[in-house]
Structure 1
């Protein structure tokens, strides 16, 4: 008799599993329409990232599964001492020609280790053509800069010190200033055993300090620890879209939410007054015209405006760009650089307004 009582429950359970399974099956198809109902969505994301719906990828995508930031090697006592010197140098305007600009001028802790400007101002109020990137993930990122021209943090640190539009310094100008500072001289003498401090010493110290920088604690870091229960329904829908139909994870993946590669989003202004050829200026490879490095999205809500040229003031603007299939570079040949090649990973998405809002809400958790 008890078996007959259990039969309706078994049938009902099997029916629920069948319906749920069909929802899961549809949701796991990256190109599927819409977002599953909240209950089904939370079931899909109940486990770790490796169990989540497969990401929507495309030609040339290099995907690494989401995860927490890997632990960096423990700094040696010497590296810690060098980083302390770099901490002071990062804020020291004496490293600029004018004595008024420091690294922190464009990478302020109060502004997401960026500067909040479309493009940065430097020596004599000259305006650069690129947005100052956040340094939250600098310790893990290679290569560095939007165009990837620096292979190490030491090399990266020298560029703004010497660039005529940024700090406009030189070894001949800056080294005497550093060596007149008793604190710097004593600290470097204790580390290196020599009296004279060079610009390379300064770059090494700044790089050591930059390796101590970390992304802020966020909802996303808690997701990596506790799962998606920390996300609202809208944010979870945004995560699902990010992995699937919106295709964001094709480029923004792995612990840094960056593939470390270079992509053309159609906003190089090729053939126009604001032209920036990106990676091509470093490699001279025609395939690199208009390509820029994928930035890390960790702490992205704190470092507006966005893109290599600071074109978009809000995350909603960025989502709208991708939803429309990117920008439109001119195809006609201009000068020595060939026309940019459209990136196969960028295409129109057809997201609704609610879906775009959900995607932006998810980005704010990072």
Structure 2
């Protein structure tokens, strides 16, 4: 019999010791935000979408969670999906750029898993088109998990507890790459934040947002001021598009081509996928190269209109914001942090 979930061990506690978001309601009689209007409802998240051939069930989520945390899915048996997508670090890793196979430092930051269930493009360059397609990407990349799927499948098929879990989750489909991908995707679809102060305000809790956070929201959506929503659009704060935002080139090597490496269109040189922003406070540092340490640094980057202006996207214009407006934008982004939900690290099938 496979035990469902482990007690919280020291390791599990480390994984699940979530930071408390820094947002709080203004105290001392500060004013609260006005009630949301009909246009604001565009930001309300819909139910999590699921493909018809992989509708979530408890058995599929349980299997996917085990695979997500199982280091035996990597080539050296020492890395799991959770090694880089750590729930205690906003489902990222807290590093400027990812560390992969053999400790090598990779060229791009680890994106968060949070709310990727709503995405239509995956990876910084959009080379994956679904959560299922994305799930195996790091395993099959030599620089990341470097999984030998012949060995990994043999190990799973020889583990009767895992075989039973696969059969319960995907009856008659067997243990294979497709069912591994489907199970991990089913688990990742549970990694959703929809209870932030901003979400609660949209749901009618007028006191969920302070006036400062509401002012930041208005700047965020104002095309003549912040213009953030041009790319970080409703409802998941991403247009699922690709933009060159003028990240400064570092060193003498060739710059990262971004989306151009997948789609040979000149405007895509140096363009990267727009990340979603819910729980953004927890996923520092920011940008695809981790070059912004804080949310204030992010705002300052956009105030400058980017640094490398050689192939900027048309939406990148310098912003005319005063210090109060910068603070308001940061306050709003912090209001996108959801309440921390503990994640139990499962006992892995033996």
The normalised TM-score by structure 1 is 0.77
Verify the 8 A CA contact 1:268 1:290 in the aligned structure 2: no
How far apart, in 1, do the equivalents of 2:304 and 2:319 lie?
A: 7
The one of 161, 164, 170 aligned to 1:186: 164
How far apart, in 2, do the equivalents of 1:268 and 1:292 lie?
A: 14
2:327 match = 357
SS of residue in 1 equivalent to 2:116: coil
Q: Root-mean-square deviation (CA), in Å?
A: 2.4
How far apart, in 2, do the equivalents of 1:151 and 1:164 lie?
A: 20
Higher helix proportion (structure 1 or 2): 1
Q: What is the Cα deviation at residue 211 of structure 1? A: 1.4
Q: What is the Cα deviation at residue 269 of structure 1? A: 2.4
Larger Rg: 1
> Does 1:133 pair with 2:111?
yes
The one of 21, 31, 43 aligned to 1:67: 43
**What are the Cα deviations for residues 151-180 of structure 1, in whole angstroms up to 9, with x where unaligned?**
111110111011111100122221112122
Q: What is the count of residue pairs matched by the alignment?
A: 303
Verify the 8 A CA contact 1:270 1:277 in the aligned structure 2: no
The one of 242, 245, 270 aligned to 1:290: 270
How far apart, in 2, do the equivalents of 1:218 and 1:80 lie?
A: 25
The one of 212, 216, 236 aligned to 1:256: 236
- Taking structure 1 as reference, are residues 306 and 184 closer, same or farther at Cα in structure 2, changes over 3 Å only? same
The one of 214, 219, 223 aligned to 1:236: 214
Gaps of 5+ in 2: 1-29, 337-350
How far apart, in 2, do the equivalents of 1:238 and 1:189 lie?
A: 49
**What are the Cα deviations for residues 105-142 of structure 1, in whole angstroms up to 9, with x where unaligned?**
11111111111111111110011111111111111101
**What are the Cα deviations for residues 17-76 of structure 1, in whole angstroms up to 9, with x where unaligned?**
xxxxxxxxxxxxxxxxxxxxx98x95xx444251x6xxxxxxxxxxxx742110136898
Verify the 8 A CA contact 2:267 2:313 in the aligned structure 1: no
> Does 1:164 pair with 2:142?
yes
Verify the 8 A CA contact 1:322 1:346 in the aligned structure 2: yes
Which structure has more RCO (C-alpha within 8 Å, separation ≥ 6)? 2
The normalised TM-score by structure 2 is 0.80
How far apart, in 1, do the equivalents of 2:233 and 2:49 lie?
A: 22
- Taking structure 1 as reference, are residues 145 and 73 closer, same or farther at Cα in structure 2, changes over 3 Å only? closer
Gaps of 5+ in 1: 1-37, 53-64, 332-340
How far apart, in 1, do the equivalents of 2:35 and 2:182 lie?
A: 44
Q: Which moved more, 1:164-173 or 1:308-317?
A: 164-173
Verify the 8 A CA contact 2:90 2:283 in the aligned structure 1: yes
